[in-house]
Amino acid sequence: MVERRPLWTFFTHAVLLLGLVVTIFPIYVALVASSHDTTTLIAGVPMTFGTHFFDNYARVILEGTAAPGAAPVGPMLINSAVMALGIAVGKIVISILSAFAVVYFRFPLRMVCFWLIFATLMLPVEVRILPTYEVIADLSMLNTHVGLIVPLIASATATFLFRQFFMTVPNELVEAARIDGAGPLRFFKDVLLPLSRTNMAALFVILFLYGWNQYLWPLLVTTDESMYTIVMGIKRMIAVGDDVVEWNLAMAAAILAMLPPVAVVVIMQRLFVKGLVEVEK
Amino acid sequence: MYSLNAYRGMQFYGVLLLLPAAILLITFAYLPTANTLINSLYIPSFRGEPRTFVGLENYQDLLSDTTFWQVARNNFLYALGTIPTSIALALGMALLVNARLPGRGMVRMAYFTPTILPMIAAANIWMFFYAPQIGLFNKLLSIVGISGINWLGDPNVALSSVIVMSVWKEAGFFMIFYLAALQSMAPELKEAADLEGTSRWSFFWRVTFPLLMPTTLFVLINALINAVRVVDHLFILTKGGPNNATNLLLYYVYENAFSFFDRTYAATITVVILLVLALVATLKFTVLDRRTHYQ
């Protein structure tokens, strides 16, 4: 009865399409722009594809733009991948261990540790970026992958989510494991880890996007061209002062910067949405 | 609450497991934060002389800094412009793509794409829309005879332009959380409502919306934090201009530290941002902890 309302169906489909246009059109524009030469784009973006698609991508990956300091983006893609994977994996490992400790063990100063961890929820890296930079400089970790990755791992969000999840694991499982003679590490490996699979997947996707899309942090920590990330590369391509911006190449770089995160989301889509339901609780 | 302590006898294990996180947090979160607090009480060194302790003078300067107040006001308007719109759009999109329709997976993916795109890349693309001469918006407007809106250069319009772009970028991210919550809702609810002939409208307001309340709060907190945390797009779109019309708190910190080389003043503004975040965190722990009765 409620389902058969052609006007309603028409309305929702129209809104849906409008939404599609709004979300996808800018990306279409970028794709089109990346297929023209620089001079065509000075007059504005045409609405149809040009003939320089493959030239542009080959140039941007292997050679970079003419602007000084705008290096080829091939190595930058690798740096970004290392950074994003390092952050995602590192943070998941460290967080799941500390959540395990906080929920299942009792030791002196446990509550102090607990609050020390969770107080960092309100200290996002971006905000304390300047003093964190000074720490990294003192440890002479500028221009290293470790310097790019480690400070971004230091926050409690993931620990908090794992803790919330562990609290929902029934007590009987712990008891059963103990009666069967399983020690804490065995229980962690055989019970908690398999149970946390979807959570880890959802966190992996979110953290990978987070790491991949960083701009300010790599901007501060790297001065050596061989350590630049792709997001920095895009910015450098359009910061050319009075020269003509090579928009076609900048757009090709933007599209390239989007592909790995899209791949991660597509591959993990099912686990991702399922995991979010639990992450949020 | 802590009835789960199965491994009482093994203190050593627990401490060991916590060690990596503890070292990281102390080195990269607490030390820097403490440094910020200390720095905010000094003025920077000048010609090699040691820095001078000035107590709360930086904070007094801050109170009389008109740019700071403008930036704070901008940030407030930015939050007000982005958060309710993103959340409403996210919920709308989630409801749309949760329904049965052809190519549902593709549509979901499409709605999520702006989120996947790095902020810098997104801002870059939007330059094609906003650019005064060649921008698509002005080209479209010239068809209907309106000309020459300077989307990013006019102080009255620039902040709104930045807001629109941010909403475009952020709504898809929140949609995913709503979608996940909608999928975990029991289908029996809808069936029961259909049997009773409940209209869509009242089903949404009386069943769906209240059940989504925990998600809405979660999203709201994240949106609040993002409103002070994310400033990447300013580097491309406006650089805080024209005349600070789009400058946001964190960007102002960055300007003070790296353009004006006044790191202690930057530290002072950072402390203010941290206070704002502490306020948000208090909200999180008081309101979010009370939401449990929904589940």
**Cross-chain residue pair A213–B119, CB shorter than 8 Å:** yes
Q: What is the DSSP string of A40-105?
A: HHHT---SS--S-HHHHHHHHHHT--SSTT---HHHHHHHHHHHHHHHHHHHHHHHHHHHHHHHHB
Mean pLDDT of B278-291: 72
Q: Using omega within 30 degrees of 0 as the cis cutoff, is the peptide bond preceding A131 cis?
A: no
Mean of pLDDT values over A212-220 = 89
Q: What is the pLDDT of residues A233-256, one digit of tens each?
A: 888 887 766 667 778 888 888 888
Task: Map out the domains of chain A as residue ranges.
Answer: 74-280
Looking at the predicted structure, is the pLDDT value of residue A118 above 90?
no
Contact B75/A at CB under 8 A: no
- B264: closest CA among B98, B84, B53? B53
Q: Which residues of A touch B11 (CB under 8 A)?
A: 105-108
Q: What pLDDT is recorded for position B83?
A: 93
CA pair distance B254, B261, nearest whole angstrom: 9
The whole-number pLDDT of residue A276 equals 66
What are the distances in angstroms from CA B36 to CA A133, B21, B27?
12, 21, 13
Q: What is the share, in percent, of chain B residues with pLDDT greater than 90?
A: 11
Distance CA A164, CA B238 (A): 40
Summarised one tens digit per residue, pLDDT across range B189-221 is 888 888 888 888 888 888 888 888 878 888 888
Reported as a pLDDT band with limits 50, 70 and 90, residue A80 is: very high
pLDDT at B3: 41
CB A220 within 8 A of CB A109: no
pLDDT at A1 over 50: no
pLDDT of residue B77: 93
Residue B157: predicted pLDDT:
84
Residue B53, SS3 per DSSP = strand
State whether residue A173 sits within 8 Å of chain B by CB: no
CATH level 3 topology of A74-280: MetI-like fold (1.10.3720)
Q: Please state which architecture CATH assigns to domain B64-294.
A: Orthogonal Bundle (1.10)
**Separation CA A256–CA A269 (nearest Å):** 20
Q: Which of 132-161 (B) contact A at CB < 8 A? A: 133-136, 139
Could you tell me the residue ranges of all domains in chain B?
64-294
User: Would you place residue A121 in the very low, low, confident or very high pLDDT band (cuts 50, 70, 90)?
Assistant: confident
Assigned token pair, B208? 């769906």
Q: What is the pLDDT of residue B292?
A: 46
Interface ipTM > 0.90: no
Judge whether A159 and A102 are in contact, CB under 8 Å.
yes
| Average pLDDT for chain B | 82
Separation between Cα atoms, residue B199 and residue A62, nearest integer Å:
59
A226 or A276: which leads in pLDDT: A226
Report the pLDDT averaged over residues B164-170: 92
Does A252 contact chain B (CB < 8 Å)? no
Which residues of A are less than 8 Å from B10 in CB distance? 105, 184
User: Looking at the partner chain, which of B112, B236, B263 has a beta carbon nearest the beta carbon of A130?
Assistant: B263
Average pLDDT (B74-93) is 92
